[in-house]
Every structure is written in structure tokens, then in C-alpha cells.
Chains A and B, each alone.
Chain A
Amino acid sequence: MKILVPVKRVIDYNVKPRVKADGTGVDLSNVKMSMNPFDEIAVEEAIRLKEAGKAEEIVAISVGPAKAQETLRTALAMGADRAILVESDAEVEPLAVAKILKGIVAEENPGLVILGKQAIDDDSNQTGQMLAALLGRPQGTFASKVEIDGDAVSVTREVDGGLETVKLTLPAIVTTDLRLNEPRYASLPNIMKAKKKPLDTKGPADYGVDIAPRLKTLKVAEPAVRQAGIKVPDVDTLVNKLKDMGIAN
């Protein structure tokens, strides 16, 4: 079985995003960029399935600017076998990304596509579900456990009330939640080896996809700031405050 793992280059999760003064977006110049954390978990899961003998080949894909090559090299250094960059300097919305991925799935015929449940920049949480819809395939979203069982996959999902397990016929789409696994760090020898692994570059037009955005961003603003309140010296004062609010007797 082949596994496709789409990965996105995003602002590093440790960096506090700053809104541009002109309100056109978030300032990404001179900011550390990394692989979307949920996508790292997706890469790790694919590698574990390969290590367990459930998969033969892992193809990492990124839709983004030329620099997304770095993100793909990270996936290759972790253990992906080859990579495809669908290059676009313009921002590509989840629906268009899903359409591009559909085109790649048609060429590659993977048994599984594993994606992060959402990217930490636009927080859309859409691409996996959209890809599943476009392909007419089942989806196991927000996965905390993935088990291949013959021609099906059992996915345990993190839902509001706890956990839920669904069984999907393969081929299927899985999106990862935080507790699925802990991604490995790439070792130095593997980083060196990754430089020699194949990386193809394509464009959205190769898949016949129109990436014109459907949503227009009119403005990006800082969220309303909460003012720090008061500090109380001891528990008794806190209890009195709670009593004032009517929540203690």
C-alpha cells in the first residue's frame, strides 16, 4: 500500500504571530517557518505504518511556495520516500488544495491519505474532509489511533464527549489529532540522505485546478485585548470576591 501525506509550511508554532499594521494579514517576513505540527504527526503515522509492514511507500506532498521544498525535505528526512511540490506563490484555499490532491491521488492510487486535521495558520480544518468528499471515499478525522485490518482501517477519533471508533473501507482518508503519536526528529544522516531523495515540482495547472480564491480577506485585526485585573493577597479576599459575584455562600 502507498500512503500520501500532504504537509504545509506554516509559521512555527512557538512564534507569536503579529498582525501587520495595515491590517492586510499576519507578518511572515523574517519569521521562523516549520512543518504544520499536525502534519508532522501525519508523516510519523505513515512511517510507523511502513515500519509495521503495512505500507511500502510514502509520498509527501506540499502545495505552496518554492520554499515549501524545505518542509518536504523535512518529511523526507523523517522517512518519506519521495516528494511532490505543487508550487504556487498565491495562497491556495483548502477546497483548491483538495482538488489538487484529488489529481495526485488519481495518479498515485494510495491506500491511505493521512493529513493533519488543521493547519495552525488559517485553522480551517477542511482539507481532509473535502478530499474525501471529492474522491467519494470514507474519512476518519481527528484520529488518535489508526489500525489497518485487511481491506479496512479502524480509526479511533477524538470527539467532544470522549472517543469514537469507526471502521472505514480502504482506500480512505485520515486526519490526525495531537495524541496519535509523537513525531520523531530527523537524524543528521537522514537529513543528508533526504537531499538525494526525489522531489518533483508541479503546478496547479498540471492538475487542471483553478486556485482563484473564493474567500476574500477584507481585514485582519488583533483580537480584543483583555485587561489584566487585580491581584488579591489571600484566599479570604478571593472568597469575598466570589461571594460578591454571588457564587459562594
Chain B
Amino acid sequence: MKTLVWVEHDNASVKDATLSAVTAAAKLGDVDLLVAGQGAAAAADAAAQIAGVGKVLLADDAAYANALAENVAPLIAGLAEGYDAVLFPATTTGKNVAPRVAALLDVMQISDILSVEGPKTFTRPIYAGNAIATVESSDAKLVITVRGTAFEKAATSGGSGTVEAVSGTGDAGLSSFVGAELAKNERPELTSAKIIVSGGRALKDGDTFQQLIFPLADKLHAAVGASRAAVDAGYVPNDYQVGQTGKIVAPEIYIAVGISGAIQHLAGMKDSKTIIAINKDEDAPIFQVADIGLVGDLFTVVPELTSKL
């Protein structure tokens, strides 16, 4: 089977979630990559180093600069001609573009796969991860998004892919990029961090969140996350949210502080290797999934923990 993986990149390097998609694609067959962007040659060179890749198709055009789905989807649908499956990381950008490609190809997309069970059979979460469905596609071509935490990341070196320039239809004239407000964060990215410290509504307000969660995270060189309740209450911006409707994470260690453990939140972090929960309510559902639990008042426990590390 020939597969094409759409690469998410920042023009210089390949984003981690793509590496997981490459691993999933390799389970299906040969893997080529598509790097679409403007001035993205360095990203294509980096992509060619990924272990096991064949060709790296580079579509360099101003129209592809911000991954606008209206422009990128026809490019990918055109290239899909020569492939049996097209895979995307299930990031916000991947989720934006992939269904548009699927519809252009008249294919029913398989979203957020967790495993490859056969050439056309996959598992995927439904009902916020409360059930896992095994589905088999009857489409001639496959369009798939890959949950990053479910697959190992492919190695970023050792590959010897060849970069080949391709072109598409360019600007569809339907949409334009106005701007982005991306959070400036000195800390590791949530989706690739080894340790995450997450805070919940029990933190009371934004200031308390800053004063308690951030120093602990800094001590551990950890990323900072939050529950939906904490985000909705305005303690931290939305890009901190871990959960079914936020980011799906699976770090080595996840420390949940003042998070009760709503289904919504658990769906986003229950694949973490070790879960540590700090909560004053000993019956909080978070303790049912935690490897290590500490029942206590976070306002005294967290500063003590931070000082003793």
C-alpha cells in the first residue's frame, strides 16, 4: 500500500504529531510525505531525515503559507491519485484539512485512529473515549487522522528521503489569513511534554493558578495544562485545556491539581504513564485513575511540594 502523510511544520522543523502519523502510515505500507508551505524547503529537508520515508513532496507556494484548507485540500486531493491512503495528524490543522480532502475524494474519513488492525481496519474512540470502535472501511482510498498519543513517534534521523517539488492549484480565492495570537510559552509544549502539571477550578482564580501551578511546573520542567472548568472560569487561556474538546496528552507523568476528574478531562489524559492527583475530596473521580493520590488542601500541599523538590 502507498501512503501519503501530510506534514505539519513551522517551515523549519516537523511537528511531533506528524511523527506519530508516520508510524501509523508505516503500518499500512510505504510512506511518502507532503510538505506544503511557503519557504518550507528546510522543513522538507528535515522531513526527508525521518526514518523510513520515501519521497518528500514539497509544494512551495504563497497560497500554502498558512495551511488554509481551501487551498491545501485540492492540492492533497490531486496528489492522492497516486496513493491508497492519506494520513494527517489529528491536530487542529489536520482536523481542519482532512475532511475537506476526504469529501473531494468522496471518501468517508476515519477520525482519530488509535491503532491499525488491518489494511482497512482501525480502532477509534467514540463517545469521548468512553467506547472504542473497531471500524472497517469499504472506500477504495483511505483518509485518516491519527491520534498522536496512540503511536510512537518515528525517529527524526536515519531517513534518506528524496525531496521532489510538486505544484497544485494555488489560491482558491475563498479565504485569507488575517493573523494569529499564539501563546508565547517558555515551557515545553503540552502535547510533547514529558511532565505536565494541570490545574482545575479548585485553584480559585487566575492569580492563584499562576502562583501555585507555574512554580511547581518550573521545578519539574513541566508543561502547564488546565481542566475545562479552569479555562471556562478564565484562569488560563483555552490553549491550556486538556480534555476531549481540548488537547489529548499522554506524558510520562501527569500531575492533576484540584481537578475532580470529569469524563471530559479524563478522556484527554488517561493514557498518561503515571497519573498523580492532589485533591481535597477523597471521593473525587480523579483518584480512580490516579497511580498516586494525595488527599489534601492544595493551597498548603502544592507550595510544600514545590519547596521540597
| A, B in one complex | yes
Q: How far is the CA of A139 from the CA of B99 in the complex (A)?
A: 11
Partner-contacting stretch, out of A57-65, A70-78, A156-164: A156-164
A19 cross-chain contacts in B, Cβ below 8 A: 130-131
Q: How far is the CA of A26 from the CA of B125 in the complex (A)?
A: 12
Q: A142-B92, A230-B291 are in contact. Are A129 and B69 (CB under 8 A)?
A: yes
B135 cross-chain contacts in A, Cβ below 8 A: 215-218
Do A130 and B239 have beta carbons less than 8 Å apart?
no
Q: How far is the CA of A167 from the CA of B173 in the complex (A)?
A: 11
Partner-contacting stretch, out of B19-27, B31-39, B292-300: B292-300
Partner-contacting stretch, out of B55-63, B101-109, B158-166, B207-215: B101-109
Residues 93 to 120 of chain A near chain B (Cβ within 8 Å): 93-95, 98, 120
State which of A17, A95, A215, A245 has its C-beta within 8 Å of the C-beta of B130.
A17
Do A245 and B253 have beta carbons less than 8 Å apart?
yes
Do B309 and A248 have beta carbons less than 8 Å apart?
yes
A94 cross-chain contacts in B, Cβ below 8 A: 99, 108-109
Partner-contacting stretch, out of B46-54, B79-87, B178-186, B198-206: B178-186
Q: How far is the CA of A4 from the CA of B290 in the complex (A)?
A: 44
B274 cross-chain contacts in A, Cβ below 8 A: 245
Provide the main secondary structure of the chain A interface.
mixed
Q: How far is the CA of A120 from the CA of B264 in the complex (A)?
A: 11
- A135-171: contact bitstring with B at CB < 8 Å (1 yes, 0 no)? 0111101101000000000100111111111111100
Do B134 and A158 have beta carbons less than 8 Å apart?
no
- B268-309: contact bitstring with A at CB < 8 Å (1 yes, 0 no)? 001000111000001000011111111110000100110011
B293 cross-chain contacts in A, Cβ below 8 A: 228-232
Q: Is A1 an interface residue (CB 8 A)?
A: no
A216 cross-chain contacts in B, Cβ below 8 A: 135-138
Do B131 and A228 have beta carbons less than 8 Å apart?
no
Do B93 and A160 have beta carbons less than 8 Å apart?
yes
B139 cross-chain contacts in A, Cβ below 8 A: 214
State which of B93, B106, B112 has its C-beta within 8 Å of the C-beta of A95.
B106
Residues 205 to 237 of chain B near chain A (Cβ within 8 Å): 220, 228, 232, 237
Q: Is B167 an interface residue (CB 8 A)?
A: no
Do B137 and A215 have beta carbons less than 8 Å apart?
yes
Q: Is A11 an interface residue (CB 8 A)?
A: yes
Provide the main secondary structure of the chain B interface.
mixed
Q: Is A134 an interface residue (CB 8 A)?
A: yes
Q: Is A238 an interface residue (CB 8 A)?
A: yes
A137 CB, min distance to chain B CBs, angstroms? 7
Q: A133-B100, A162-B180, A241-B292 are in contact. Are A217 and B276 (CB under 8 A)?
A: no
What is the interface residue range for chain B against chain A?
Answer: 35 or more
Residues 215 to 239 of chain A near chain B (Cβ within 8 Å): 215-223, 226, 228-232, 234-236, 238-239
A178 cross-chain contacts in B, Cβ below 8 A: 228, 232, 245
Q: Is A121 an interface residue (CB 8 A)?
A: yes
B111 cross-chain contacts in A, Cβ below 8 A: 123-126
Do B133 and A217 have beta carbons less than 8 Å apart?
yes
Do B109 and A124 have beta carbons less than 8 Å apart?
yes
Do B180 and A239 have beta carbons less than 8 Å apart?
no
Do B127 and A218 have beta carbons less than 8 Å apart?
no
Q: Is A30 an interface residue (CB 8 A)?
A: no
Do B99 and A161 have beta carbons less than 8 Å apart?
no
A29 cross-chain contacts in B, Cβ below 8 A: none
Do A239 and B305 have beta carbons less than 8 Å apart?
yes
B131 cross-chain contacts in A, Cβ below 8 A: 17, 19, 26, 220-223
**Chain A residue nearest in CB terms to B220:** A247
A130 cross-chain contacts in B, Cβ below 8 A: 99-100, 102-103
Do B107 and A238 have beta carbons less than 8 Å apart?
no
B113 CB, min distance to chain A CBs, angstroms? 12
Do A142 and B309 have beta carbons less than 8 Å apart?
no
Q: Is A206 an interface residue (CB 8 A)?
A: no
A42 CB, min distance to chain B CBs, angstroms? 15
B296 CB, min distance to chain A CBs, angstroms? 8
Q: Could you pull out 6 A-B pairs where Cβ atoms are within 8 angstroms?
A: A17-B131, A98-B103, A139-B96, A162-B182, A219-B133, A223-B132
Instruction: Report B's interface with A, CB cutoff 8 A.
Output: 66, 68-70, 73, 91-93, 95-104, 106-112, 121, 125-139, 172-183, 191, 195, 220, 228, 232, 237-239, 244-245, 247, 253, 263, 270, 274-276, 282, 287-296, 301, 304-305, 308-309
Instruction: Report A's interface with B, CB cutoff 8 A.
Output: 11, 16-17, 19, 26, 93-95, 98, 120-134, 136-139, 141-142, 144, 154, 157-169, 177-179, 213-223, 226, 228-232, 234-236, 238-239, 241-242, 245, 247-249
Given A164-B179, A223-B270; 9 other pairs, CB 8 A cutoff: A126-B102, A133-B99, A160-B191, A162-B180, A178-B228, A217-B133, A220-B126, A221-B134, A223-B132
